[in-house]
A and B are shown apart, each in its own frame.
Chain A
Amino acid sequence: MFRKVLIANRGEVTVRIIRACRELGVKAVAVYSEADAESLHVRVADEAVCVGPAASSQSYLNIDAIIAAANSVNAEAIHPGYGFLAENADFARAVTSAGLIFIGPSSEAMELMGSKTSARRVAVESGVPIVPGTVEALVSFEEARKTAEEFGYPVMLKAAAGGGGKGMRLVSAGDELLSAFETAQTEAAAAFADSALYLEKAVERPRHIEIQIFADTQGHVVHLGERECSIQRRHQKVIEECPSPINDPDLRRRMGEAAVKIGQAVKYTGAGTVEFLLSDATREFYFLEMNTRLQVEHPVTELVTGIDLVREQFRVAAGEPLSFTQDDVRWVGHAIECRIYAEDPANNFFPSPGKIAYLREPAGPGIRVDSGVANFSEVSIHYDPMIAKLAVWGRTRDEAIERLRRALDEYQVVGITTTLPFFREVADDEEFVAGKLDTGFIARFNERRRVVALPQEQVDLAMIAAAIHYSRHEQPVFVQTGTQVSDGRWKMAGRAAGLRRWKRT
């Protein structure tokens, strides 16, 4: 096993990887931007190196600075986490040529699967079905228009280099195509430095189901079952589950085998995820893309299979065989994860950066919190707004949902707006409880959700608390009321201050 590993990331994923390092007796080195000097991922590391200013292009995406950091502390390997450089083949190559180990697949496998167009070719060659669409990148808007008309609307525009929903647009009619094409191109260029787009026929009411695979350098390729990731906003997942509410062992086996075939075709190593669209009606599935990295939603697979995916990544990168075989993999119970974003669900999930004034995370049976923030953390505009993930486990989906509601009630984040209240509403929603999920869930949920007025008592108590806080902590000592300074208020302020000192000691 390694002696020292550098984690080329920030936030909750870095904290997660550091936990695996600790368990394995590996020293963990964090990198940070100038904006992150006091961030949680730095505070929990063994060593930390500043890699540049706040802008991620100059810090977390700065390949030279990160490799120099790894060399300066004599790290043997680099874990890229997810996002940032995790799927950048140039980075993987640079790590290897610096004599370090990249904890992830080979740069060749990454390149093959990183371009969605070549990934689709791999799927076709492996006999795995794909959604009808262009195999090559579109050369012009004119080609996009012709192809869209050929397939018939609705169609999806996607960035060829894409991932994470960036540069992706659903186009339901011809008159929306130009504006969607332009904004997707701009977004793709900004996110991936590559504006190439391709086009697919949109599958109606699809479920988004992905298969976790794992492969070692000895040639074993196994799958760890599915995750249902149908609840998405802006094509980004917000709630994930394992198993899917469909929970069909035969379907899991067929999708698992298809995913393993793709892994074998690209000589994959480490953790990877093969994403599929599944038609709920026909149970037909189509290859969507492969993510050549650890996934944000890996905790639900860990909770249900009991396998620590990050520890397994370390094993494989160190040249050891997988610690389990396909037959060893068992799925016990049900896990659900909510991604806690600093976003305003009432305002179209608009980012809501700011300082966390108070934080209390849930705990107790079946609860797992992977958090990148602490009390008084600054959620900055520079980075992704996901602050933490709440994952729950129960023996059944119903039990998991009950725990989810309880944990969401316990979770307190003050100072920034988060998606927590939204999840609490979803946890009570009939369609969600019934497991009727597809990628249009949030749009329909927003249509049918009723704003339930809170009990008057609760609103009153909140106002009382604000009034008490105001009079205890916010009232200035010098109270000017016209020309007369009230003697009584002077005394009262003094007494209040005395009383507070007495209370706190």
Chain B
Amino acid sequence: MEDGRTRGRSEKVETDVKLKAIIEEQEHDLNVRIDGGRVRAEFGDRVYDLELREPEPGSYLFLRETELHECHVSKAAEGFEVSLHGSNHVIKIVDPKRLRSGQDTHGHSHGMAEITAPMAGKVVKVQIDVGASVEKGSGIVVVEAMKMQNEMKSPRAGVVVSIHVKTGDTVNTGDVLAVVE
């Protein structure tokens, strides 16, 4: 039995949230309201009214009027990866209700450049010593992964202030190999 008082409009509202979406280091404020199979999303004055379907978990079908957009979302190391019309986007969602301020600020101290491992692998050669001067593009460390030797180069000219690995070390994605200042 339904009556108008207990089954108000808010009953049907699945989601009504304010979030921040970060894509390519740009922050966007986003309001999303999902209500009875429809989505209203607002980026300030850019407003989208969409019909929403989820034919399989993580696959979303948007109908904007009759225009169809299909995307797939999966969890990525940092946030989500969304594929849409042949492009993949890495998007981080920040929920202000769940985050204390101060999180997620990893600024670079000026003038320092960290050389990090872009993937897991093995250090096969350290080409330079602490204190050495390097040019932009100078080889610092050689990492072997997937049968390929990859020379990690300095992104800038400067002095090597620290080296964090030695030959034979196994490194993971994002590990700092060396720092150039």
Contact = CB atoms under 8 A, between A and B. Distances in A.
Interface of A: 166, 179, 183, 186-187, 190-191, 234, 344, 347, 350-353, 357-358, 381-385, 408-409, 411-415, 417, 420-421, 424, 454, 456, 458-475, 479, 481, 492, 495-496, 499, 503-504
A350 B119 contact: yes
Interface in B87-112: 87-89, 91, 93, 95, 97-98
Chain A at the B interface: SS class: helix
Interface string B140-161: 0010111111110000000000
Nearest to A497: B14
Contacts, number: 177
B83 A412 contact: yes
B39 interface: yes
A474 B120 CA distance: 27
Given A179-B139, A186-B124, A468-B15, A381 B119 contact: yes
Contacts of A412: 72, 83, 86
Chain B at the A interface: SS class: strand
B32 A468 contact: yes
Interface of B: 11, 13-15, 17, 19, 21, 23, 28, 30, 32, 34, 39, 41, 43, 46, 48, 50, 52, 54, 57-60, 62, 69, 71-76, 79-89, 91, 93, 95, 97-98, 118-121, 124-125, 139, 142, 144-151
A110 B120 CA distance: 35
30 contacts: A187-B149, A350-B118, A358-B59, A381-B146, A409-B86, A415-B76, A421-B86, A458-B85, A458-B87, A462-B91, A464-B41, A464-B48, A465-B73, A466-B73, A466-B89, A467-B17, A467-B30, A468-B15, A468-B73, A469-B80, A470-B95, A471-B17, A471-B34, A472-B14, A473-B57, A474-B75, A475-B95, A481-B98, A492-B13, A496-B14
Given A191-B147, A357-B81, A492-B15, A421 B88 contact: yes
A208 to B, nearest CB: 20
A456 B28 CA distance: 12
B151 A464 contact: no
Contact of B88 (A382, A417, A479, A492): A417
